[in-house]
Amino acid sequence: MKELGVTPTQTARNLGVTLDDQLSFTANITVTNRSCRFILHNNRRIRPFLTEKATQVLVQALFISRLDYCNSLLAGLPACAIRTLQLIQNAAARLVFNLPKFSHTTPFLRTLHWLPVAARIRFKALVLAYRAPNGSGPSYIQNMVKLYTPAHPLRSTTAKRLATPSLRKAGSHHSSKSNLFSVLAPQWWNGLPIDVRTAESLQCFPSRLKTHLFRLHHTP
């Protein structure tokens, strides 16, 4: 009987996400970039027949949803790794306003109320962090993100801070461990204004969070 061998592969696709053998997400970013460019190419062909508003609705429905898909997995990656995604978002803004190829896009992203890619990643990660202590998030996220409980009653008890895990373990590498979701999410969360952290519902929290991030990234 012929034996069946298992052949290793450098990438594998699961639930629409391309995973590479180093978990660098380089392959997934490449696939996302290619898919988004294809969407913009098709939209650009019909742009002369669309109004600005219609183009915005179309781009947000087809392009932004693809750009944001599972983007919390990219949390902790350096800016250079997600630069191509920012460039393609800039191209989408130019398409909406029918701008020349190398036009400056920051004021137009502000007009569209689009957060830059890095902020969109942080937004998705923080929504997961909000859901975890409330018991509405996935169990594996709940295991990673816990509310901070001080040894003695303090005013911070009501501030909904998250516990930050210690990296001081034998054999741990701070440079890699600090990029873990379990480390990044509490750091980002604890840096939020208290009115955002203490939002009373999942319906209220994203709105306050986006307003905060929008001011942070788009204030002139």
Residue 163 resides in a domain:
yes
- Domain closes at, from 70, 90, 114: 114
Residue with token string 């393609």:
88
- Examine the pLDDT at 211 and tell me if it is beyond 70: yes
Q: Which domain holds residue 52?
A: 11-114
Rounded Cα distance, 97 and 192, in Å:
33
DSSP state, 12?
Answer: E
Determine which helix (DSSP H) or strand (DSSP E) holds 19, and give its type and residue range: strand 17-20
Note whether 130 and 192 are same-domain residues. Answer: yes
Identify the residue with better confidence: 182 or 190.
190
- The structure's pTM equals 0.85
Note whether 134 and 109 are same-domain residues. Answer: no
pLDDT at res. 113 = 94
Note whether 150 and 126 are same-domain residues. Answer: yes
Residue 106 resides in a domain:
yes
pLDDT at res. 171 = 46
- Domain closes at, from 114, 143, 161: 114
Other CB atoms within 10 A of residue 67 CB: 22
Rounded Cα distance, 186 and 155, in Å:
18
Note whether 197 and 214 are same-domain residues. Answer: yes
Cβ proximity of 160 and 192 under 8 Å: no
160: left (phi over 0), alpha (psi -120 to 50) or beta: left
Rounded Cα distance, 128 and 130, in Å:
5
Residue 4 resides in a domain:
no
Could you tell me the pLDDT band of residue 170, with boundaries at 50, 70 and 90?
very low
Note whether 126 and 103 are same-domain residues. Answer: no
- Domain closes at, from 48, 79, 114: 114
